[in-house]
């Protein structure tokens, strides 16, 4: 594992999976104790569940990216850029969902939710780059 991109993706990806699974556990504890700030707030429940799910899934995506990036994107510069985009997106999307459920109104997320589309765009661009690279490699 000499590729620095792969190393950083694996570190980030597994850390994200661990972190957002821990968030999932915390949410279950909230259910266990019927924590009113969570179970009685429909929108917050939805947003934090989305943070947990997106964080874990994007973390796994980053791991997969790390394992396959060298084959899809042989150019180190392109690989670094795509990796940065994906990791930024994988962080911002769940963070936006989570913070959107902090200090939110009953029917609307807090303004931090605006981080989500930004993160989603970055993650999309990173994955798009890998997808295009995969086609090129196949060519």
Partner 1 sequence: MSLAVYASAVGLAGWRVTSGYEDDFRTPFPHREAPWVTSEACRSCHPDHHASWERTFHRTMTQEASAASVVGAFDGRVVTFWGIRARPVERNGRFLIEYLGPEADTGEGGDEVQRTLEIARTVGSRRYQQYLVQDPEGRADNYYRIPLLWHIEEERWIHLNGAFLGPDDPNYDKHVALWNDNCIFCHNTGPVPGLDNYDELVERRTSGEAVDISSHGQFRSEVTELGIACESCHGPAGEHAERNRDPLRRYALHFTNKDDPTIVHPAKLDGERSVAVCGQCHGQRMPKTNAGIVDWMRTGPTYRAGEDLSEAVRLVWRDTPPPVPESDGFALRFWKDGTPRLTAYEYQGILSSPCYQRGELTCLSCHSMHGGDVFGQLAPEKRTNQACLQCHGEIARDISAHTHHELGSSGSSCYECHMPKAVYGILAIHRSHRIENPDIARDTATDRPNACTSCHLDRSPVWVAERTSEWWGGDLAALARTTSEAPVSMSGWLAGLHAGDPVQRAVAAEASARVDTPLSPRERVFIVPHLLLALFDTYPAVRWFARRSLEDLSRELATAGIDLGLADGADAFDYLADVSEREEAVKGLMRLFRENLPGDLTPPPEGTLLNERFEPDMDEILRLMRMQSTKVIQIGE
- Judged by CB under 8 A, the residue of 114, 124, 131, 137 near partner 1 is 114
| Cβ proximity to partner 1, 64 vs 95, nearer residue | 95
CB 88, min distance to partner 1, A: 9
Q: Which stretch binds partner 1 (CB under 8 A): 12-20, 69-77, 79-87, 103-111?
A: 103-111
Binders of partner 1 in range 36-65 (CB under 8 A):
40-43
Is there binding between residue 15 and partner 1 (CB under 8 A)? no
CA–CA distance, 4 with 10 (Å, rounded to integer): 10
Residues whose CB is less than 8 angstroms from the CB of residue 94 and which lie 6 or more positions away in sequence, other chains included: 16, 20, 50, 51, 52, 54, 55, 58
Dihedral angle computed from the Cα positions of residues 17, 115, 101 and 104, in that order, rounded to the nearest 10 degrees: 170
The answer to whether residue 105 forms part of the interface with partner 1 (CB under 8 A) is: yes
Q: Are 109 and 117 in contact (CB under 8 A)?
A: no
Closer to partner 1 by CB, 85 or 130: give it: 85
Structure tokens at 116: 């989500």
When asked if residue 30 is in the footprint of partner 1 (CB under 8 A), the reply is no
Please give the structure tokens belonging to residue 128: 């798009």
Q: Which residues bind to partner 1, rule: CB under 8 A?
A: 40-43, 105-108, 111, 114, 118
């Amino acid at each position: 594992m000499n590729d620095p991109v792969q190393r950083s993706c694996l570190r980030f990806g597994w850390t994200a999976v661990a972190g957002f699974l821990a968030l999932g556990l915390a949410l279950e504890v909230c259910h266990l104790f019927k924590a009113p700030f969570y179970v009685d707030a429909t929108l917050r429940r939805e947003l934090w569940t989305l943070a947990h799910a997106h964080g874990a899934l994007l973390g796994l995506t980053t791991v997969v990216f790390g394992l396959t990036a060298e084959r899809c994107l042989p150019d180190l510069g392109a690989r670094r850029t795509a990796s940065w985009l994906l990791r930024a997106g994988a962080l911002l999307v769940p963070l936006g969902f989570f913070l959107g459920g902090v200090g939110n109104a009953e029917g609307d997320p807090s303004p931090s939710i605006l981080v989500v589309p930004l993160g989603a765009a970055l993650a999309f661009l990173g994955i798009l780059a890998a997808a295009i690279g995969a086609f090129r490699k196949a060519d």
